[in-house]
Amino acid sequence: MDRIHITGGAPLNGVIPISGAKNAALPLMIASLMTGETLELINVPRLADITALLRILGNHGVDQMVVGKRPGQTSETGQTIRLTASNIIDTTAPYDLVSTMRASFWVIAPLLARFGEAKVSLPGGCAIGTRPVDLLIMALQQLGAETEIDGGYVIAKTKKGLRGGQVSFPKVTVGGTHVALMAAALAYGTSVIENAAREPEVVDLADCLNKMGARIKGAGTPRIEIEGVARLNGARHEVLPDRIETGTYAMAVAMTGGDVVLKDTRADLLHSALDVLATTGTEITQVDGGIRVRRNGGGIAAVDVTTDPFPGFPTDLQAQFMALMTLAKGQSHIRETIFENRFMHVQELARLGAKIRLDGDMAIVEGVERLRGAPVMATDLRASVSLVIAGLAAEGETQINRVYHLDRGFEGLEAKLGRCGAQIERVRA
């Protein structure tokens, strides 16, 4: 199993290109099931999760073409994928495929909306909480689907097509909003999603669906209106920049010191996180086509944060921010309100010398003067990259095991950091 080896202590200086957002690309790829015409997606990151979803779509019969590199592209820049679901041969998504990635469960919506039936395995993914699919199933039921769970599969059917209705989520759910959007786009009549997720990735999906002929208004607000249409057409759509990757590298610069331009990204996608980062003593400025992050070696101020749905502080940046706070001056409090098991990185950060104690959904971090390198184990995608950030700042050598988690969400991580002065390499098993 591959490992990442880091010799810490070097500041980061240079330019890091930001990839397309995995959390946007996955639902966009799934949306290809909603039409028999070709959906062309630009700026799709090269990640294990993308490859896994291509296998799932291929199992349904989706034709796929990955377009060759264009001038100026590298292994860390996005690829173009063309997906054509003109001949769907199977509306079942089996356990051996769906169990590897939670987002793959979302295929249930376009399959049900377009073909009137779907059988999808209950999902897998990172072990960061239960993340049940009950709200996703509820959304389909409120649009007229008949559902049952049998043998670990969700079976959904509709005799005369989905019908427009009101989907009211008791709590904000990104996955539920994705599912409701796709199902309602092909339902008969008008649907309203109340308490909808406002994340940029939801807006990106709605924008793409509208290009395909859907009639969606209000994406990015808590209330989305969808007027169903009989069919959708193909389209060409560019995946938005990855705000989590942007925030991750910004925190790496804040922790190690240095001066880095994060290019091909947008500050408006993560204002909350950047505002928090600025209060730690990090200089954040917008530049043409990106964001400049600088810290001149001064101390890191302790800051309290609470994770919240967008536009709040992202749960997907909680572990990275905790790594930063381990070297802050003073005590910080980090409250996790989204996932109940998302503190598994605490014990691994402690192996590097961090002082963190847990109290329910809160982590209390006492800043220390220095971290020291040690062997650590990645537990999930965001936890693994928090260990990379900590290792970059720690004295001596850090070895991170089980880095296959990183390959699910960070494109070309070692190369991007290495070009900015980090001493980081992958050790092949």
Residue range 150-174: average pLDDT?
94
132 is in an annotated binding site: yes
Question: Amino acid identity of 428?
Answer: R
DSSP state of 145: -
407 is in an annotated binding site: no
Query: Which pLDDT value is given to residue 71?
Result: 56
Residue range 312-324: average pLDDT?
96
Query: Which pLDDT value is given to residue 298?
Result: 78
* Closest to 342 measured CA to CA, from 301, 373, 313: 313
Range list for CATH 3.65.10.10 in the chain: 3-16+242-427, 24-238
Q: Is the pLDDT of residue 99 over 90?
A: no
Q: Is the pLDDT of residue 254 over 70?
A: yes
Residue whose pair of structure tokens reads 């005369």 in the numeric block = 160
Residue range 391-403: average pLDDT?
95
288 is in an annotated binding site: no
Residue range 176-201: average pLDDT?
98
Report CA 201 to chain centroid distance, whole Å: 9
402 is in an annotated binding site: no
The pLDDT-based confidence of 408 (bands split at 50, 70, 90) is confident
d(CA 15, CA 260): 5
In this predicted model, what pLDDT tens digit does every residue of 202-250 receive, in sequence order? 999 999 999 999 999 999 999 999 999 999 999 999 999 999 999 999 9
The values of phi and psi at residue 398, to 5°, are -125, 135
Q: How far is CA 205 from CA 153, 176, 350, in A?
A: 26, 13, 39
Residue range 89-106: average pLDDT?
89
134 is in an annotated binding site: yes
104 near 53, Cβ under 8 Å? yes
Assigned CATH for 3-16+242-427: 3.65.10.10
> Does 420 participate in catalysis according to the annotation?
no
Q: Is the pLDDT of residue 195 over 90?
A: yes
Decide which of 124 and 191 is more confident.
191
Average pLDDT of the residues of the chain: 93
Query: Which pLDDT value is given to residue 127?
Result: 39
Query: Which pLDDT value is given to residue 128?
Result: 31
The pLDDT-based confidence of 94 (bands split at 50, 70, 90) is very high
204 is in an annotated binding site: no
358 is in an annotated binding site: no
404 near 413, Cβ under 8 Å? no
Query: Which pLDDT value is given to residue 77?
Result: 65
CB atoms within 10 A of CB 115: 13
d(CA 213, CA 393): 49
In this predicted model, what pLDDT tens digit does every residue of 113-148 receive, in sequence order? 999 999 999 875 433 334 468 899 999 999 999 999
CB atoms within 10 A of CB 342: 26
Query: Which pLDDT value is given to residue 130?
Result: 44
135 is in an annotated binding site: yes
Query: Which pLDDT value is given to residue 338?
Result: 87
Q: Is the pLDDT of residue 352 over 50?
A: yes
d(CA 349, CA 368): 12
Q: Is the pLDDT of residue 388 over 80?
A: yes
Catalytic entry in 107, 126, 156, 317: 126
In this predicted model, what pLDDT tens digit does every residue of 2-27 receive, in sequence order? 899 999 999 999 999 999 999 999 99
In this predicted model, what pLDDT tens digit does every residue of 271-315 receive, in sequence order? 999 999 999 999 999 999 899 999 977 799 999 999 999 999 999
**What is the architecture of the domain spanning 24-238?**
Alpha-beta prism (3.65)
